[in-house]
Amino acid sequence: MIKLAPSILSADFAKLGEDVVRIDKAGCDWIHIDVMDGMFVPNISFGMPVIKAIRGLTNKFFDVHLMIEEPIRYLQQFKEAGADMVTVHVEACEDVEKTIDEIHKLGIKAGLACNPETPVDDIVPYINKVDMILIMTVHPGFGGQSYIDECTEKVEIVNAIVNEYRLDTLIQVDGGVNTENVCIPLDAGANVIVAGSAVYKGDVEKNIEVFIVIYKAIILEKIILLNHFFCVF
């Protein structure tokens, strides 16, 4: 099942609560929350108090993406603030496996992210240990960037491993994805799409509706292909 996770980094911070409710009512699956510390990435966003404040506005799955150094220090606080999943960066953890284990001990899901310049081999050892792999398709820290085409191969490699070993690990892409290019990562095997500007720029409800239409068309196409395959054999 394909999931849409709008990033509230692109929302209007002056009316953040309203923008969260809008994407909820419009039919998004998850809410993607980018947390930046100004050290791992050259930007600062928001932290636990903001997450806690908006948690009461929606029952949607909170997908918290930590772009911070040594995130293991704050896992408990993010869980208490309302995170359903915490994704950390392979580049930011001194002990990746310990960090993943600590997230799971809190009773929430764990994701592992890698930046565009990071070799996919750095995350391969952990694919079977996490609930989701996040492939960054822009350089983290700022919204509104263009999709980096070279990152698509990483999605394909991770998807091949997930399929080969029949894992339940989700594959998320984050950065530069819009309704015109979303089929690129989806065709490569991604099943969770983060979209910021593509959702919040213009008519939010209409933008989400277009994403949903595309998702349904892709799922229908796959069903038709499967039915054709079984009819042939």
Of the listed 19, 29, 34, 63, which one is catalytic?
34
Locate the DSSP E strands across the chain.
Answer: 3-6, 30-36, 61-67, 85-89, 109-114, 132-136, 170-174, 192-195
The answer to whether residue 37 is catalytic is no
| Three-state SS annotation for 93-149 | CCCHHHHHHHHHHCCCEEEEEECCCCCHHHCHHHCCCCCEEEEECCCCCCCCCCCCH
- Measured between alpha carbons, how far is 208 from 210 in angstroms, rounded to an integer? 5
Residue recorded with tokens 């990071």: 118
Q: First-to-last CA distance in the chain?
A: 25
The answer to whether residue 203 is catalytic is no
Structure tokens at 81: 């603030």
With contact defined as beta carbons under 8 Å apart, do 54 and 17 qualify? yes
Of the listed 19, 29, 63, 174, which one is catalytic?
174
Q: Which residues are catalytic?
A: 34, 174
